[in-house]
Amino acid sequence: MLAAFGATTPLEPLAGGQRRVWRSGEVVLKPLDVSEEELRWQAAVLADLDGATDLRVAPPVPSTEGALVVAGWTAWRYEPGSPPRVAQYGDVIAAGRLLHHHLARFPRPPFLDRRHHPWAVADRVAWGEGDVDDDGGRLPHVRTLLAVRRPLGLADQLVHGDLTDNVHLHPELAPLVLDLTPYWRPPSYATAVVVADAVVFRGAPLDLVDRVRAVEGEPFVQLLVRALLFRAVTDHLLAPEKDEQWVDWFGPASRYVASLAEA
């Protein structure tokens, strides 16, 4: 499999990617985790973005025979960079804005309606296009957010819905955007997901909400309601046995954002 992608140096594990990502020289190897249709779409979009000067991307590397998948594995061009620290989430958000400026010209991918994994289901719940079963009352943080969700009239476009750990930074190079994860939502929603992740999972203070809100404007609160719903429902679907822990994780941010939405 290594030879098929032209990888010749010993493998070394890379952080992230659920510990299934490996580097061999200038190639990064990871298992196929999307449909082949989505992978081909990623390859086309990333090839288009590869000429940008204000950000970097890492397109897939075809095998020596031109295949994007070999024995269930994919290869991607290695680019240097490091995951952000808590103090650098402003840089992640700025990189996301640059990315979405470039993505605005792309049409809606047809495969979005055919995705039924937990992230896609949770995205639809967050936007009122689906429901989550909480007959047991195990998700008070979800109910808190649903109670304050209000309609939004923002325009949708192609967005990267998982920027938080997929923008890597380098002191001398443009920001690197990895693992293009497509959704069809307002671009500031992607920013809201970064903020939700930062305050719930990465130890960022809640005043990050206020700082980003001051830049993004008042609709950002409703986008953040949806971003928290997206992450909360995803985690419930992936690990319902941890629902009591999810209440503790999401409770403070959910209550704070709900108070802003009600103000």
Q: What is the mean pLDDT of residues 139-148?
A: 96
Span 66-118, pLDDT tens digits: 999 999 999 999 999 999 999 999 999 999 999 999 999 999 999 999 999 99
CATH assignment, 3-77: 3.30.200
Task: Kindly tell me if the per-residue pLDDT of 192 is higher than 80.
Answer: yes
Confidence of residue 16 (pLDDT cuts 50, 70, 90): low
The average pLDDT across 122-143 equals: 92
User: Quick one: average pLDDT of 110-137?
Assistant: 93
- At residue 19 the predicted structure's pLDDT band, cuts being 50, 70 and 90, is low
How is domain 86-262 classified at the CATH fold level?
Aminoglycoside 3'-phosphotransferase; Chain: A, domain 2 (3.90.1200)
**Residue showing tokens 């443009």:** 174
* pLDDT tens-digit map of 198-254: 999 999 999 999 999 999 999 999 999 999 999 999 999 999 999 999 999 999 999
**Average pLDDT over the chain, rounded to an integer:** 94
Contact 176, 81 (CB under 8 A): yes
Domain limits of the chain?
A: 3-77, 86-262
pTM for this model (two decimals): 0.94
pLDDT at residue 263, as a whole number: 84
